Amino acid sequence: MGAEGVPGEDRRLKDKLRELARGWGADLFGVADLSPAIEYIEEIYGDELAHLPRAVVMAVFYPVAVVNQLREGPTHTYLHYYKVLNTRLDDMALRVANYLQDEGYEAFPIPASQRVTEDKLAGIFSHRLAASLAGLGWIGKNCALINPRVGPRLRLVTVLTDALLPADQPVKDRCGRCTACMEACPAGAIKGVAFKAEDPLEARLTARDCDAYLAKVRVAFGKRVCGRCLAACPWGQKPKK
């Protein structure tokens, strides 16, 4: 029996994890109930992870000005902080996973950024899906997680667990009629279609066009980096308190 609330859920453990995560550098912390996504998780990732019903999701914000520079093209500063943020996120995820493990639970930290094949950037689990279910934001027309404070100027990490932590509530999509990311995309890869859980990714994004553009950038700039669809998002474009 948990500390309070829904039987089996442990609010005290969630509060403790949130406090620790904040101390370790998390700007956002939430818990997702993965049950609405279980079929999707099984289909995409197999049943290896599908028995873990909760995800702890944490975010670290990019400095807004660093992402906004991408409106003019790729920058080494963005790439530098991409690595800095991922290192911090992986460290936080490891600490959360080991804390849960010490409490007697199963916990699986998903790397912040991981290639599962040579040619694909997709990780082994969608942090965005977990973050949207945890109420940290909504999935925008640019396929990124959009947080009301910083828009898509953040990075995410996830720890899957069987600890029955009380789940947060998803928030509503607030893209509305905006199509700024679609207009900013130099590859024409973004279709301007709102996220729907039942739609495949291709309904919103022609991934091969994005990929082909990034390959061109690698030739010119040395690295695959674009992010114009992030910099264009009006949510969080000006830092807010």
Minimum Å gap between C-beta 227 and ligand SF4 is: 6
Count the site residues for ligand SF4 by CB under 6 A: 25
Minimum Å gap between C-beta 200 and ligand SF4 is: 16
Query: How many CB atoms are closer than 10 A to CB 235?
Result: 20
- Give the interface segment with ligand SF4, choosing from 4-12, 17-25, 77-85, 229-237 (CB under 6 A): 229-237
Minimum Å gap between C-beta 241 and ligand SF4 is: 20
Minimum Å gap between C-beta 174 and ligand SF4 is: 7
Token pair of 166, please?
């009380």
Distance, in Å, from the CA atom of 155 to the CA atom of 135, rounded to the nearest integer, reads: 15
Q: Does residue 169 contact residue 62 with C-beta atoms inside 8 Å?
A: no
Q: Please tell me whether residue 179 binds ligand SF4 under the rule CB under 6 A.
A: yes
Distance, in Å, from the CA atom of 128 to the CA atom of 135, rounded to the nearest integer, reads: 11
Distance, in Å, from the CA atom of 231 to the CA atom of 152, rounded to the nearest integer, reads: 8
| Cα angle: 164, vertex 168, 170; to 5 degrees | 135
If the CB atoms of residues 1 and 177 are measured against ligand SF4, the closer one turns out to be 177
Q: Please tell me whether residue 235 binds ligand SF4 under the rule CB under 6 A.
A: yes
If the CB atoms of residues 2 and 192 are measured against ligand SF4, the closer one turns out to be 192
Handedness of CA 173, 178, 183, 188 (dihedral sign): positive
Q: Please tell me whether residue 17 binds ligand SF4 under the rule CB under 6 A.
A: no
Q: Please tell me whether residue 190 binds ligand SF4 under the rule CB under 6 A.
A: yes
